[in-house]
Amino acid sequence: MWSIINVELYKIFRRPRTYIAFGAIAALIIVIQLGLKIDGNTYAAFLMKDINDTLTVDGKVLNGYLICYILLQLLLVHVPLLVALIAADMISGEANLGTLRLLFTTPFSRTHWVLAKFIAASVYTILLLIWLAFLALFVSMWVFGTDDLFLMKSNYVVLIQQNDVLWRYVGAFVFASFSLLTVTSLGFLMSSLSNNSIGPIVGTMSAIVFFTILSTLNIPLFNLVKPYLFTTHMNNWKEFFDIQVNANNEAIHGSILNIPKIKNSLWVLTFHIILFVSASIIIIKKKDILS
C-alpha cells in the first residue's frame, strides 16, 4: 500500500498543476500582508469605529495573530476551490488521460488505489494547509510582530492573551484540515463519477458554493438542513478563538467557549469524509474502465 501511495504522491508533485495552488496562496497572502502593512491602521480603525466611541485600545492591535486570523477568514473560503483542482482530478484525470487502466492492471485492488489516491490527495491538502499556516501565521508574526489577539466579532470583541493564542491556531489548523479533507473527499467522489477532469472540478466547486449559500442564508426552510451540511461546519475553526467568561465576565485563560460545537462539527465532517470516500470506492469497484 505504501508503494502505491508513494507513486501517487510522486505523480502529484511532478505535475505542474500542483504548484498553482501553492503559488496562488502565496500570492494572495503576500498581497494581503502588503496591503495591511501599508494601510492596515486604516483598516483597523474602520473595524474599531464602534469600540473607539467608548474605549481607547492601547497596544499593537494589528499584530501577526490578527493578520493570520484575517487571512484565514478570507482564504479558508477559497482554499477548497484550490483543493478541488487536484482532488477532483485524481481519478477522472487519469481516466481522461487513459492511465487509469495502467494502474488498475497492477496487482493492487481498486480499493487500494482509491485509498492511496485519497491519502495522496490528503497529503497534498495538508501540505497546502501547512504552507498556508506558514505564510499566514509565521510570516505574519515575523512581519507584524505579536501581541494579544484582539478579535472583533459581529456582536462582541474577544481579547485573547498573547500566550493563549498559538495553541488555538494549532487547533484551528487541525480543524481546517478536516474541513479541507471533506472537500478532498467530495472532489474524489465527483472524480469517481466522471471520465474527464473539468466536470468533477467544476462539480466540486459548484457543490461547495451551493451548499455554502444554503449554510449562510438565514431562511427557515434551509435552517432544517443546515446542521447536516458540511459547509455549515467548515468554518467552525473560528470557535477556537472564542473564549469562556466566568460569572464576573472575566475571560478564562485557555478556555474555549463551545467545545461541543467543535466536536459536533468534527463528527459531521468526519462522517462526510467517510461517506464520500466509501461511495467513491464502491463506484470505482463497480465501474467498467472503458477509457
CB of 10 or CB of 134, closer to another protein: 10
- Give 38 or 156: the residue with its C-beta nearer to another protein: 156
Query: Residue 57 has which C-alpha cell?
Result: 485600545
Question: How many Å apart are CA 20 and CA 12, to the nearest integer?
Answer: 12
Backbone angles phi, psi at 70, to 5 degrees: -60, -45
Output DSSP code: residue 239: G
Specify the residue, 47 or 135, whose C-beta has the smaller distance to another protein.
47
**Looking at the DSSP assignment, which residues form a beta bridge with residue 151?**
158
Least gap, CB of 138 to another protein (angstroms): 19
Rule CB under 8 A: which of 131-190 touch another protein? 147-148, 150, 152-162, 164
Q: Which is nearer to another protein, 260 or 288 (CB)?
A: 288
Whole-angstrom distance, CA of residue 7 vs CA of residue 163:
42
Which of 82, 215, 240, 281 binds another protein (CB under 8 A)? It is 215
Q: Which of residues 46-105 bind another protein (CB under 8 A)?
A: 47, 50-61, 73-74, 77, 97-99, 101-105
Q: How far is the CB of 224 from another protein (least distance, A)?
A: 13
Q: Which of 119, 238, 266, 283 binds another protein (CB under 8 A)?
A: 238
The residue (of 39 and 50) whose beta carbon lies closer to another protein is 50
Return the amino acid letter for 6: N
Residue in 119, 140, 31, 124 with CA at minimum distance from that of residue 79: 124
Binding to another protein, residues 187-206 (CB under 8 A) = none
Cβ of residue 32: shortest distance to another protein, in angstroms?
A: 14
Provide the minimum distance between the beta carbon of 30 and another protein in the complex, in angstroms, as a whole number.
20
Q: Annotate 71-92 with DSSP letters as a single string.
A: HHHHHTTTHHHHHHHHHTTTTH
225 sits near another protein (criterion: CB under 8 A): no
In the list 119, 123, 126, 251, the residue contacting another protein (rule: CB under 8 A) is 251
Candidates 3, 42, 270, 278; binder of another protein (CB under 8 A) is 3
220 belongs to the binding site for another protein (CB under 8 A): no
Q: How far is the CB of 79 from another protein (least distance, A)?
A: 14
| Spatial distance between the Cα atoms of 79 and 171, rounded to a whole number of angstroms | 18
**Neighbour tally for 48: CB within 10 Å:** 16
Specify the residue, 42 or 216, whose C-beta has the smaller distance to another protein.
216
Member of 216, 228, 270, 274 binding another protein (CB under 8 A)? 216
What is the smallest separation between the CB atom of 26 and another protein, expressed in angstroms?
Answer: 21
Give the 3-state DSSP-derived string for 123-186, with helices as H, strands as E and coil as C: HHHHHHHHHHHHHHHHHHHHHHCCCCEEEECCCCEEEECHHHCHHHHHHHHHHHHHHHHHHHHH
Contact between 159 and 252 (Cβ < 8 Å): no
Which parts of 11-40 interact with another protein (CB under 8 A)?
Answer: 11, 14-16
Contact 272, 107 (CB under 8 A): no
